[in-house]
Structure 1
Amino acid sequence: MDPTLADRERLMITTLSTIKRQDIVIAKEYDSTSDKPKKIVKRVIGLPGDTITYHNDVLTVNGKVVKEPYLADYQAQFKKDKLQSTYQYDAFFQRLARQSTAFTTSATGEANFTVKVPEGQYYLMGDDRIVSQDSRRVGAFPKKDIIGEAKVRFWPLNRIGGV
């Protein structure tokens, strides 16, 4: 979830809130190699029944443009140098960014794509779109796999506050 959240940060979550678009949630993700799910942190992009469209990094939900201000820093860096300085620690990430035609692409690399979110499911994406493993690759998440909404970061102390 870079740049919004960093590895090893600690979050307080609530299981009582209604899930809304752009909330940050913790969900269970299952993979084919284990019966045990891993917990992931992603942003809600689509609610049940939504039609999600991306056209050159502009998000449209049900025909209305939705701003994503939390992506501004990485989108600016993508335009500047395709995130090469940001990803200098990882050659694989640098290669993915160099090959990307937009900051947000489909699982097959298309800058323009549309997804219909199935009823009872949520479309989740990470904020670091180029390298995020999310609904674009693993599909939508059923409500039963949403653990809760992240509300407050309490560690590290110098970053304490709402998310």
Structure 2
Amino acid sequence: MNKINVNNNKNITAKEPWYVANLSFFFPGVGQIYSGNKLKGLIFIISKILLSFWMLWIIIFPEKHLLRDGLIWLLLYVLVGNWNLIDAYLSTKTNNPPAFESNRKSKKDPWLAVLLSRIIPGIGHIYIGSYFVGIILVIISLAAYLIPFGHVILFLAVPFSIYHVYVNSPERREKSKKKITGIVIATVLLPIFVWIPSTLLITNIVAEAQWIRSNAMQPTLNGNHNQWDADNFMVDKFSYKFHKPERGDIIVFSPTETLKKEDYTDNFVKRIIGLPGEKVELKDGKVYINDKHLLEDSYIEQNQSTLIDVCISGSQSVFISKPIIVSENSYFVLGDDRNISYDSRCWGLVPKNKIIGKVSKIFFPISRIRSL
């Protein structure tokens, strides 16, 4: 805060609008609360939290249309995010004395330079006229998106850029460096202690993006060793905390003990066919559950047979050479392409504790976006 003297040396407190916007850039509403607009701040905070939960809802629940609902969410997210910054700036500016605002606008604002540098390191330097340093930082920042571990470069470039642009600004109204030091510290510590742990918590407990390397789940899922040529999908890790896996669910699971003995380390993606306690039998190229033919026309290609000939493992005998009863807390799984899938026919059942989650939606490529 700054104090200026107008009308017989009366002290009037003013606040830096772009500093307030910087606070709201950390989390919507924080700047508004700092500037005294507590109600607005709470509204923005609640809006951000609701948007976050809505995004998780869109990802997890199959009835939500990922493309349509995702675009609506993105539009609202951008609108709330941008209006948050605009409101933080305008509401603070409106409450400032005219003399302070006139003086502030007469020169390049160091806090605007800081905000620009937080968006793209180097832009703030260009704004204050430090073109050489600015261009170098912009090039480094953009190149970081194209190289391995580029996020580490960005993590270091942002705090350096915002501190450097502030101390080199032509006009700084604060006599101390406490505010910019606080911004730099928050820029470093928040990702380490808040954002990264939150992301890890979500990916470990709620949902995670994965992709499939094999074609064993075609035509439902297209696989490829190149991630961007394969179907990328969301794995719902949350739903099975409240209900048991069901027949027809496509699941991701870690290798069973049998598969580990065959040196498999990558996760598997298969469809649940047999549930605990059920009798599973392969007969005449068809699957029978409790002596009843299982209809699978909705996910396997027409006239495709389910045989045991696909089992090629030399170290294990064929698991379902005769009818089996699925043991408790275990599942019998098959791939949708029965001609090439290496699945429960060959190596056995999947224990429930090996299941990572349920494949809920394909999100890439765009032409393949859909719920499963």
1:6 & 1:26 partners in 2: Cα distance?
Answer: 15
Q: Which residue of 2 aligns with 1:14?
A: 236
Residue-pair matches, total: 134
Matched with 2:33 is none
Q: Which has the higher strand share?
A: 1
Alignment partners' CA distance in 1, 2:329 and 2:262: 25
Which of the numbers 152, 156, 163 marks the counterpart of 2:365? 156
Deviations 1:101-148 (A, max 9, x none): xx2112488xx8422211111111111112111111111010011111
Alpha-carbon distance between aligned partners in 1 of 2:338 and 2:330, rounded to the nearest angstrom: 20
Q: 1:53 aligns with which of 281, 300, 311?
A: 281
CA contact (8 A) 2:287 2:306 kept: no
- The Cα shift of 1:72 comes to 3.1
Q: How big is each residue's C-alpha offset from its partner over 1:3-48, in whole Å with a ceiling of 9 and x where there is no partner?
A: 11111211112122331011110011142254x7311110001111
- 1:65 aligns with 293
CA distance in 2: counterparts of 1:141 and 1:152, whole angstroms:
22
Is the Cα–Cα contact under 8 Å of residues 219 and 301 in structure 2 kept in the other structure? no
Distance in 1 between residues matched to 2:348 and 2:307, nearest whole Å: 14
Equivalent residues in 2 for 1:12-161, closer than 5 Å: 12-15=234-237, 16-17=239-240, 18-29=244-255, 30-32=259-261, 34=263, 37-69=265-297, 70-73=299-302, 75=303, 103-106=305-308, 107=311, 113-161=322-370
- Structure 1 distance, partners of 2:350, 2:357, is 13
Q: Distance in 2 between matches of 1:130 and 1:11?
A: 23
Amino acid at match of 2:338: R
Q: More helix by proportion, 1 or 2?
A: 2
Q: Shift of the alpha carbon at 1:64?
A: 2.5
Question: Which of the pair has the greater relative contact order for Cα pairs under 8 Å at 6+ separation?
Answer: 1
Deviations 1:54-90 (A, max 9, x none): 22233221122220011134x2xx5xxxxxxxxxxxx
| Cross-structure match for 2:176 | none
1: CA distance, partners of 2:322 / 2:284: 9
CA distance in 2 between partners of 1:72 and 1:6 (Å): 14
Decide whether the 8 Å contact of 1:105 with 1:113 is kept in 2: no
Alpha-carbon distance in 1 for matches of 2:368, 2:344: 28
SS in 1 for 2:221: coil
Matched with 2:9 is none
Change (3 A) 1:104 1:145: same
The percent identity for this pair of structures is: 32
Superposition CA RMSD, Å: 2.3
Q: What TM-score results when the alignment is normalised by the length of structure 1? A: 0.73
- Gaps of at least 5 residues in structure 2 are 1-216, 224-229, 312-316
The structure with the larger Rg is 2
Q: How many angstroms apart in 1 are the aligned matches of 2:354 and 2:286?
A: 28
Aligned to 1:83: none
Q: Distance in 2 between matches of 1:126 and 1:26?
A: 12
Hey, what's the Cα distance between the residues in 2 that align with 1:129 and 1:12?
A: 23
Equivalent residues of 1:55, 1:113 under 8 A apart: no
CA distance in 1, matches of 2:290, 2:296: 15
Change (3 A) 1:129 1:33: closer
Q: Distance in 1 between matches of 2:271 and 2:324?
A: 16
